[in-house]
Amino acid sequence: FLKRLSQLEEAEGGFDQFTRSYKTFGVQRQPDNSLLFKEWAPAAEALFLTGDFNEWNKFSHPYTKKEYGKWELILPPKHDKSPAVDHRTKLKVVVHTAEGDRLYRISPWAKYVTREEKSVIYDWVHWDPPEQYTQIHPRPKKPTSLRIYEAHVGIASPEGKVASYDNFTTNVLPRIKELGYNCIQLMAIMEHAYYASFGYQITSFFAASSRYGTPEELKRLIDVAHSMGIMVLLDVVHSHASKNTEDGLNRFDGSDSCFFHSPPRGEHSLWDSRLFNYSSWEVLRFLLSNLRWWMEEYRFDGFRFDGVTSMLYHHHGIGTGFSGDYSEYFGLQVDEDSLVYLMLANHILHFLYPDCITVAEDVSGMPALCRRVEEGGLGFDYRLAMAIPDKWIQILKEFKDEDWDMGNIVFTLTNRRYGEKCIAYAESHDQALVGDKTLAFWLMDKEMYSNMSSLIPMSPVIDRGIQLHKMIRLLTHGLGGEGYLNFIGNEFGHPEWLDFPREGNNQSYHYARRQFNLVDMDHLRYRQLYAFDRDMNWTEDKYGWLAAPPAFVSAKHEGDKVVVFDRANVLFIFNFHPTQSFQGYRVGVEVPGKYPLSKFVFIITDTAPLWGSLFFFLFCFVVAAAAAGLT
């Protein structure tokens, strides 16, 4: 890592200039309105620019070859001094290979790509609007308690279509603010040719997806979020790239490498995608500048790095289990080039943007992943606690209520490396996808279609499901980490899974939407779940348990199915027993004193019939500690 920093200083004048390469590569308008085109294509024999501006002439505008595999072309302005290429003009790079092939490519640095309705391939469209959106609201400060709303713009509407940036700005942002989330994690923004990939097969790394609208509309979305005090993270995919050649990075210069390792190292066997060569100087330029681009051009506030486990190891986590033994994390199986890239990315981001937030999707538990680079860590602020949602799904699939293991649940929620922050979540987009089921679906299934009306008596299934849905989320929120995440729609127990249009469902959008209209109907119980999620977040905002040290668990009683813990001077008491309630129950507290009823933050006490005439109580108390002198 230190060697790379010194090399950047020596060769590029430091990382600040190096990461601004998006201002010199691709297409750049110069002060005199001439256009500079610059690419890196080391294996190419010749490069030409073609497009609407020259009536698609394949040879009239050749690039000049420079050092280190770079190519440049300057287009002087028109006679009226306007740029030679107009805004929204279609372009292509024509690559001539040593084998005599002629390839039509999109610039890896393209800032906008679109696709015609009946076309499969994306087009490179020159984006240089005469009036650009100017963001006026400052970035919010990094919150002490991070509450993330994981969202996908395209599905953020009840209508069966691809929703827009403007729809999200107008209709979804106010809901997120009302719910008490202070951060949004936007998925599937980096352009991807296949919508059903959920944004994980990136084709154009510098282009915001045009299927939702224009770059200016995305800038407005982020600006309005900032005006509400909400940070916006980008779900960034630097772990792999789409294999597409016509509109992706793959074989850009005709070779099987360029941005990637040559096969087999450069191919991911499970994802059917290409893997970056993080040891390459120009790949580092491309990826680090990509992070800088999203921070500067769109004013994102940080990133959730996808597929970090795949990046860290040569085996990519395929067929590998992690027990926590240090030999699994420190050895020849670790991809040092990738690890150093992540250190560089985090160091640069946090140096340039002190309030930047980075989150790692890592299932392996790599030690020091979330410690500062100066300490020998990788520099992430948080890692996703990926074992927690898997545990909840396993419990609901495999165990009866009376067989829930309180000790195992508490262990899963608290099993994290001391001093490394985690984002806890009961479910994310992974559990919402078709093939799996959300917590609400596991709990209530088909009765959600017929028995969620408050105008009819509550059925045992719905009663149990609603209470456990609340308890699971609150227990995860209070005990599971130093941040909390919810996937769009899950806060109100969305009644259906998520399935993008594809051949297998006849290109249907029926399940590629979020039915917010259900929350707006006063007589449906979805509204109650929505209100609970809102109050849970705002209560945390008041007491700050996510920012507090790990909880002190005073009880995990297997017979009584009771869990008790203290955190941030708040006492949490959960009773998961399916048939038994308790009165005068004695629990340990960290702070002595009286805990009067007036100090209850909120109380959930619900009864539900269970198998005949039995009744059971599912309740949890969140109690503010009221010791002498403590408010």
One-letter-per-residue 3-state SS of 391-411: HHHHHHHHCCHHHCCHHHHHH
SS3 549: coil
The set of residues, in sequence order, having a beta carbon less than 8 Å from that of 398 and lying 6+ positions away, is none
Taking each continuous run of H as one helix and of E as one strand, the counts in the chain are: 14, 26
Of 193, 195, 120, 111, which is closest to residue 153 (Cα–Cα)? 195
Question: Distance between CA atoms of 408 and 398, rounded to whole angstroms?
Answer: 14
Dihedral, CA of residue 308, residue 311, residue 316 and residue 320, to nearest 10: -50
Domain 21-135+247-272: give its CATH code: 2.60.40.10
pLDDT 10s digits, 132-141: 999 999 999 9
* pLDDT level of residue 558 (50, 70, 90 thresholds): very high
Does domain 553-624 sit in CATH 2.60.120.560? no
SS3 202: strand
pLDDT 10s digits, 63-94: 999 999 999 999 999 999 999 999 999 999 99
Dihedral, CA of residue 308, residue 355, residue 570 and residue 525, to nearest 10: -70
pLDDT of 601 reads: 44
| Residue written as token pair 């992943």 | 369
CB 153 within 8 A of CB 166: no
- The residues that bridge with 184 in the sheet, in sequence order, are 149, 232
Please determine, for residue 600, whether its predicted confidence score (pLDDT) is greater than 50: no
pLDDT 10s digits, 280-308: 999 999 999 999 999 999 999 999 999 99
- The residues spanned by each domain of the chain are 21-135+247-272, 553-624
pLDDT of 596 reads: 60
CB 467 within 8 A of CB 618: yes
Q: Mean pLDDT across the stretch 470-496?
A: 96
pLDDT of 35 reads: 97
Of 114, 109, 133, which is closest to residue 206 (Cα–Cα)? 109
Beta strands in 431-505 (DSSP E): 483-487
- Residues with active-site annotation: 306, 361
* pLDDT level of residue 593 (50, 70, 90 thresholds): confident
pLDDT 10s digits, 147-182: 999 999 999 999 999 999 999 999 999 999 999 999
* Percent of all residues in the chain with a pLDDT value above 70, rounded to a whole number: 94
pLDDT 10s digits, 347-392: 999 999 999 999 999 999 999 999 999 999 999 999 999 999 999 9
pLDDT of 599 reads: 43
The yes-or-no answer to whether 21-135+247-272 and 553-624 have a common fold is yes
pLDDT of 591 reads: 81
Question: Distance between CA atoms of 43 and 590, rounded to whole angstroms?
Answer: 67
Tokens representing 120 are 């499969």
| Residue written as token pair 């979330």 | 370
Sign of the CA dihedral running 272, 278, 279, 284: positive
Cα 307-431-302 angle, rounded to 5 deg: 40
